[in-house]
A and B are shown apart, each in its own frame.
Chain A
């Protein structure tokens, strides 16, 4: 595909979707035979892509290695009381920022539930958020006090800015000039900031006069500065505020969305059918797979394959002829995050007894960095809390860390659970990590491009990698590209 055409399709983004166009699912009489596509992986990306292809009258089969669909979108009930549940993977949606996702919500009649403080996202002012800095807890009021800010190490310019802005808007103070240069957010290069590819975001903040305290707060070490600025430019372009917007989840759990796609795809989704090889030639693609419980490989021929498997798992599948060196670089070098959620079930809202409005706290402990409350998921006096901690740590260890740090009298937590994605052979990874300094040129725009008849969709394959929204946006984009091919 011509680069210009490709980027135009990318920029088209939302316009590529054909939600609810059921009539278009039929091939017109006398027209050429429907294209045949194999979608690799039945996570939210694969299911969405297959749905969009089906809507375009394309013959689609989804091959999923695992015995369940949904991948990293997983709502778990086991171990919890009263019918309570928790999302162990994709946690929340935002408004603005999930425009494509909300189209599916509306089309499928799903319901969203407000979920404030999701993953520690900012609450409206004075709602009881507590932040630990240097071993001490600070309330929002304390953090808004210029004397506290000065004692923490912010400089005069930052303190003046924070008098009228929340902390999370600090990037705007340092990057406003760079953002103003970004006239075309559909790609990172050619906006007068290309030199930033060489340095990390922390170095850029330092260059812009940020204090060490501001740099500690903002992070940015090992994060490609051009990627960081571009990301904010895309957010600006899409109307997403630096607070990341209001947060929600789906009623019944976020897995309701994969379920809705799967219900419409029916027998097109083949579970426990791992792909074992992909062979390409000039006229099509032969996909080898094994059906559940059978050893002998089977094959299916298709015009195109869309890889919707995360790249660390995808690279276990041999592709013949091999991928181009540029695409292989992307497959081998894209880094993902893989963090578990730790789910606590408490008998009561124990923090109310300690005078806290809510339980919205961040910590500096190696085993726990954040805890927040999940809105009621079932009729129950019990309550679900979620916490952030590193992969591989047991939930009991995370709970012990919380109990060591919680500044109240006692908690009523009776259950601590997790889903260890690092041990999941099918969907071990979550979102992509930011690119490292000096590497963006090797990733962009290769990361979005097909390699012959092999297309790529997933959370990484959108101009803004941002949860389930980038999954469904990339899925709809690829479906349109194949329809146009």
Chain B
């Protein structure tokens, strides 16, 4: 009897220890990012629109149940001349400036390539292109707000962004905002465009890369696991 109690206690102890160890084990440090649509190596005509859908799980939370907000999902589409090239399969690391753009309230009024409540990043990049003080001017607008630069609307100040972060965002807008080969879309689902910067060859297509831009837990990284890159081949011309 004593043995049985001892054995039972041991089992309980081992179970408790296992449970404690499981609880204490650090969660996976990388977000699980899956592009559920479009299918990899699917085909779409150039200039058409396609649908995309992304699910992200991280730190026990999921976009499926809105525990991770849709605004924490960023999709980048990059034109590649050859979808069979190994480089087409690699997602470029997410610049911190882009994570800051989506985590601050920028996307509430701005879009990357189209007008919204404010000018697109592409339009801002185009207006300030080649101006030596542009980065400093934009960084000041981001930090302190501005009024009348694009019409009657006003941009609020962003004290949540450190000067270095505002500077990095300004630089990103100036250097990448007008890149005709890349487009960005925020949200766990929506549409993307089969845009080509020039006449596409027969093996050209778009590489779709999805990112989690939300907050990271201690030790977490933005290195996604899962199907975070798919290739869509363009058809027609």
Chain A contacts to B: CB under 8 angstroms: 219, 221-223, 276-277, 312, 315-322, 331-339, 366-367, 389-393, 420-423, 425, 428-429, 433-434, 436
Tell yes or no: B137 within 8 A of A by CB. Answer: no
Near A by CB (< 8 A), chain B positions 139-194 give 144-145, 147-148, 150-158, 185, 187, 189-191
Report how far A421 CA is from B156 CA in the complex, Å: 14
Closest to A316 in B: B190
Report how far A356 CA is from B50 CA in the complex, Å: 59
Which of B13-21, B105-113, B198-206 is found at the contact surface with chain A?
B105-113
Contacts of B111 in A (CB 8 A): 312
Contacts of A420 in B (CB 8 A): 105, 108
Report how far A173 CA is from B51 CA in the complex, Å: 52
Contact of A318 among B50, B108, B148 (CB under 8 A): B50
Chain B contacts to A: CB under 8 angstroms: 47-51, 70-71, 105, 108-109, 111, 113-119, 144-145, 147-148, 150-158, 185, 187, 189-191
Contacts of A312 in B (CB 8 A): 111, 114-117
Report how far A45 CA is from B119 CA in the complex, Å: 25
Contact A219 B152, CB 8 Å, known A312-B114, A336-B116: yes
User: Cβ of A222 and Cβ of B155 under 8 Å apart?
Assistant: no
Closest to A424 in B: B108
User: Cβ of A433 and Cβ of B152 under 8 Å apart?
Assistant: yes
User: Cβ of B153 and Cβ of A392 under 8 Å apart?
Assistant: no
User: Cβ of A433 and Cβ of B47 under 8 Å apart?
Assistant: no
Closest to B146 in A: A366
Contact of A337 among B147, B153, B158, B187 (CB under 8 A): B153
Contacts of B118 in A (CB 8 A): 335, 338
User: Cβ of A390 and Cβ of B191 under 8 Å apart?
Assistant: no
Closest to A333 in B: B115
Contact A333 B114, CB 8 Å, known A317-B191, A393-B156: yes
User: Cβ of A337 and Cβ of B49 under 8 Å apart?
Assistant: no
Closest to A393 in B: B156
Q: How far is the CB of B207 from chain A (nearest CB, A)?
A: 19
Contacts of B119 in A (CB 8 A): 335
Q: Chain B's interface: helix, strand, loop or mixed, by majority? A: loop
Contacts of B48 in A (CB 8 A): 318, 320-322
User: Cβ of B156 and Cβ of A276 under 8 Å apart?
Assistant: no
Q: How far is the CB of B70 from chain A (nearest CB, A)?
A: 7
Closest 10 CB pairs of A and B: A422-B108, A338-B117, A318-B49, A390-B156, A318-B191, A316-B190, A332-B114, A392-B156, A312-B116, A335-B115
Contacts of A337 in B (CB 8 A): 117, 152-153
Contact A434 B47, CB 8 Å, known A335-B116, A366-B157, A425-B70: no
Contact of A423 among B47, B108, B189 (CB under 8 A): B108
Contact A429 B191, CB 8 Å, known A318-B49, A422-B109, A423-B105: no
Contacts of A367 in B (CB 8 A): 156-157
User: Cβ of A315 and Cβ of B152 under 8 Å apart?
Assistant: no
Q: Please, could you name 22 A-B residue pairs with CB atoms under 8 Å apart, sorted by A? A: A276-B189, A312-B115, A312-B116, A316-B190, A318-B49, A318-B50, A322-B48, A332-B115, A333-B114, A337-B117, A338-B116, A338-B118, A338-B153, A367-B156, A367-B157, A391-B105, A422-B105, A422-B117, A423-B108, A425-B71, A428-B108, A433-B153
User: Cβ of A322 and Cβ of B191 under 8 Å apart?
Assistant: no
Contacts of B156 in A (CB 8 A): 366-367, 389-393
Contact of B116 among A222, A423, A429 (CB under 8 A): A429
Closest to B190 in A: A316
Contacts of B109 in A (CB 8 A): 338, 391-392, 422
Q: How far is the CB of A451 from chain B (nearest CB, A)?
A: 13
Report how far A367 CA is from B152 CA in the complex, Å: 15
Contacts of B114 in A (CB 8 A): 312, 315, 331-333
Given contacts A332-B113, A391-B156, 12 further A-B contacts (CB under 8 A): A219-B152, A316-B189, A316-B191, A318-B49, A320-B49, A331-B114, A334-B115, A337-B117, A338-B118, A422-B109, A428-B108, A433-B153
Contacts of B185 in A (CB 8 A): 316
Contacts of A434 in B (CB 8 A): 151-152
Contacts of B50 in A (CB 8 A): 318
Q: How far is the CB of A389 from chain B (nearest CB, A)?
A: 8
Contacts of A221 in B (CB 8 A): 148, 151
Contacts of B71 in A (CB 8 A): 425
Q: How far is the CB of B34 from chain A (nearest CB, A)?
A: 14
Contacts of A321 in B (CB 8 A): 48
Report how far A485 CA is from B115 CA in the complex, Å: 31
Contacts of A391 in B (CB 8 A): 105, 108-109, 117, 156
Report how far A331 CA is from B116 CA in the complex, Å: 10
Contacts of A317 in B (CB 8 A): 190-191
Q: How far is the CB of B64 from chain A (nearest CB, A)?
A: 9
Contacts of B108 in A (CB 8 A): 338, 391-392, 420-423, 428
Closest to A278 in B: B49
Most chain-A CB neighbours within 10 Å: which of B51, B108, B117, B157? B117
Contacts of A222 in B (CB 8 A): 148, 150-151
Most chain-A CB neighbours within 10 Å: which of B71, B151, B191? B151
Closest to B104 in A: A392
Closest to B192 in A: A318
Q: How far is the CB of A447 from chain B (nearest CB, A)?
A: 13
Contacts of A315 in B (CB 8 A): 114, 191
Report how far A85 CA is from B107 CA in the complex, Å: 29
Q: How far is the CB of B78 from chain A (nearest CB, A)?
A: 19
Report how far A334 CA is from B148 CA in the complex, Å: 17
Contacts of B150 in A (CB 8 A): 222, 335
Contacts of B147 in A (CB 8 A): 366
Closest to A295 in B: B64
Most chain-B CB neighbours within 10 Å: which of A219, A221, A421, A433? A433
Q: How far is the CB of A350 from chain B (nearest CB, A)?
A: 27
Report how far A222 CA is from B127 CA in the complex, Å: 13
Closest to A429 in B: B117
Report how far A434 CA is from B109 CA in the complex, Å: 16
Most chain-A CB neighbours within 10 Å: which of B111, B113, B152? B152
